[in-house]
């Protein structure tokens, strides 16, 4: 049996395939395919919120992708907007936060220290700026 292919979701959402796989492995509620599908749905909503996060959150940018360090409550708003169920929200938030931490830690002066009441949001800025 071949490993799942998350390349389409990764290219659409700017979440690395390895991150999708790790988070799915840790999730008791979602398969990798279900997580990938949920990430794509959330990404569509994030495109419209790009400028809001840019004004209100710390961020780093790498190769056309922006990672924001947001308050945890931002995910409640996202969940309501896209009707993320209780099973999907923790995994989607975890994937975004893990990807954001990786991006912040790779940035020379940003640091990856998220407070316990913060989470990550990752969105491709080339896509977002088209709207």
Per-residue confidence (pLDDT) for residue 131, from 0 to 100: 41
How many Cβ atoms from other residues are within 10 Å of residue 89's Cβ? 18
Please tell me the predicted confidence (pLDDT) of residue 110.
Answer: 67
In this prediction, residue 4 carries a pLDDT of 72
Rounded to whole angstroms, the Cα distance separating 78 from 2 reads: 33
Neighbours of 51 (CB within 10 A): 11
Predicted pLDDT at 11? 82
pLDDT for residue 80: 87
C-beta separation of 120 from 98 below 8 A? yes
- pLDDT for position 20: 94
Task: State the pLDDT at residue 108.
Answer: 74
User: Could you give the CA distance from residue 96 to residue 67 in angstroms, rounded to a whole number?
Assistant: 8
Cα separation, 25 vs 19, whole angstroms: 10
> Which pLDDT value is given to residue 130?
44
Domain residue ranges in the chain: 7-129
Bridge partner list, 61? 66
Residue with tokens 């492995």: 25
What is the reported pLDDT for 102? Answer: 94
pLDDT of residue 113: 80
Low-confidence residues in the chain, pLDDT < 50: 127-131
Contact (Cβ atoms closer than 8 angstroms) between residue 15 and residue 122: yes
């Amino acid at each position: 049996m071949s490993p799942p292919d998350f390349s389409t979701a990764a290219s659409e959402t700017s979440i690395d395939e390895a991150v999708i796989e790790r988070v799915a492995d840790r999730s008791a509620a979602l398969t990798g395919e279900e997580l990938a599908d949920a990430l794509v749905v959330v990404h569509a909503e994030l495109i419209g919120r790009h400028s809001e996060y840019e004004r209100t959150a710390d961020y780093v940018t790498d190769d056309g992708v922006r990672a924001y360090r947001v308050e945890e409550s931002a995910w409640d708003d996202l969940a309501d907007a896209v009707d993320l169920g209780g099973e999907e929200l923790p995994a989607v938030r975890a994937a975004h936060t893990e990807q954001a931490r990786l991006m912040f830690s790779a940035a020379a002066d940003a640091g990856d220290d998220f407070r316990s009441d913060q989470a990550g949001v990752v969105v491709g800025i080339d896509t977002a700026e088209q709207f």
